Amino acid sequence: EPEVTQTPSHQVTQMGQEVILRCVPISNHLYFYWYRQILGQKVEFLVSFYNNEISEKSEIFDDQFSVERPDGSNFTLKIRSTKLEDSAMYFCASSALQGAKDTQYFGPGTRLTVL
Amino acid sequence: DAKTTQPPSMDCAEGRAANLPCNHSTISGNEYVYWYRQIHSQGPQYIIHGLKNNETNEMASLIITEDRKSSTLILPHATLRDTAVYYCISGYNKLIFGAGTRLAVHP
């Protein structure tokens, strides 16, 4: 069964450093998403991406964040200058279609720890 | 904010049916109801979704009221591995997660 994969599973970084979290969505999917979950809190939407453009982003997704689909398979989330409060689980998701008709499938997550 | 409300926690005995309620009284006509679950800090796992009709798959059944203001997720024979946080979500594009229902299945 196809699945979303994410690397690394755990990333430790120093405050102020740049990090890139990687995701390989399900191969025939066209819509890609990033969510995050701070320890003990809700899963929060960050951004959705389609056709090489951001289609929607939340207030959390400020100028420190960027997304990219550098090739036909990877989808990345970059945090330019990490802060302590960026420590969280980051989940990538993908879907074949946009909107209510389709299902988003999530990856296992990357645990980001900012020291 | 999430547009659904769920009880914060529920218990269920192993082997019995777990019935998890969800209120989505402000749902609009083209919004589906999705159910996901999350075990520990793993990625949310899709369970089932529906629009108007009741749905069943290998994991669960979804019963949606005729007015679409509420629904119930049914796990017919709960096992210990079904212990998780269950999220009921209504939406169009992005998924807005609430706090969910923490289901504890006990022997």
* pLDDT tens-digit series, residues B47-94: 999 988 899 999 999 999 999 999 999 999 999 999 999 999 987 778
DSSP string, B44-90: PEEEEEESSS-EE-SS-EEEE-TTSSEEEEEETT--GGG-EEEEEEE
CB pair distance less than 8 Å for B31 and A100: yes
User: What confidence score (pLDDT) does residue A71 get?
Assistant: 87
- Phi, psi angle pair for A89, to nearest 5°: -85, 135
Output the pLDDT for position B18: 98
**Number of residues assigned to chain A:** 115
Touching A: B residues 13-72, CB under 8 Å = 30-32, 34, 36, 38, 41-46, 49, 51
pLDDT tens, residue order, chain A (115 aa): 789 999 999 999 999 999 999 999 999 898 999 999 999 999 999 999 998 999 999 999 999 999 999 887 899 999 999 999 999 999 999 998 766 567 899 999 999 999 9
* pLDDT surpasses 70 at B1: no
Q: Give me B24's structure tokens.
A: 């989505």
| Burial B55-91, CB ≥16 within 10 A → b, else e | beeeebbbbbeeebebbebbbeebeeebbbbbbbbbb
